[in-house]
Amino acid sequence: MLLIRCPYCEEERPELEFRNAGEAHIARSANMAGESDDDFEKFFFIRSNPKGIIYERWRHMHGCARFFNAVRDTVTDKFIMTYKAGEPKPAKLPKDSNEVVAK
């Protein structure tokens, strides 16, 4: 079971309190009806599914109930960092994660 740090509660809590909500930083179009089939497919179905660093959303269902984002290595399942919803995708990851980023 993963141990996940909620950036709102500022606490590490067991995975059972959380719900994964899929890949992060996928922008929803403001004009959904105007989307082409290709763009809708990219938004709705296509996922990066990386073997390595993933940016994903989590929700602290049984805690503060808020959504936030996380950076995790999908090979080791180790979390590199979590950050609040709405914050930009981190351009640089924390130093101690260099080893996993290099993969």
Partner 1 sequence: MKKYSVFAIAREAMRGHKGWEEQWSSPEPKKEYDVIIVGAGGHGLATAYYLAAVHGITNVAVLEKGWLGGGNTGRNTTIIRSNYLYDESAGIYDHALKLWDGLSQELNYNVMYSARGVMMLAHNVHDIQVLKRHVHANRLNGIDNEWLSPEQAKEFCPPLNISREARYPVVGAALQRRGGTARHDAVAWGYARGASARGVHIIQNCEVTGVKRAPNGAVTGVETTRGFIGAKKVGVVAAGHSSVIMNMAGVRMPLESYPLQALVSEPIKPVVPCVVMSNTVHAYISQSDKGELVIGAGTDQYVSYSQTGGLHILQHTLDAICEMFPIFTRMKMLRSWGGIVDVTPDRSPILAKTPVPGLYVNCGWGTGGFKATPGSGHVFAHTIAKDNPHPINAPFTIERFRTGRLIDEAAAAAVAH
Say if residue 91 is exposed, middle or buried (CB neighbours under 10 Å; 0-12, 13-18, 19+).
exposed
Q: Nearer Cβ to partner 1, position 7 or 18?
A: 18
d(CA 22, CA 54): 10
| Residue 1 in the binding site for partner 1 (CB under 8 A) | yes
User: Per-residue x/- mask for partner 1, residues 8 to 47, rule CB under 8 A?
Assistant: -------xx--xx-xx-------------xx-xxx-xxxx
Residue keyed to tokens 């990066």: 48
Rounded to a whole number of angstroms, the minimum distance from the CB of residue 84 to partner 1 is: 19
Residue found by looking up tokens 């141990």 in the block? 3
**74 is a contact residue toward partner 1 (CB under 8 A):** yes
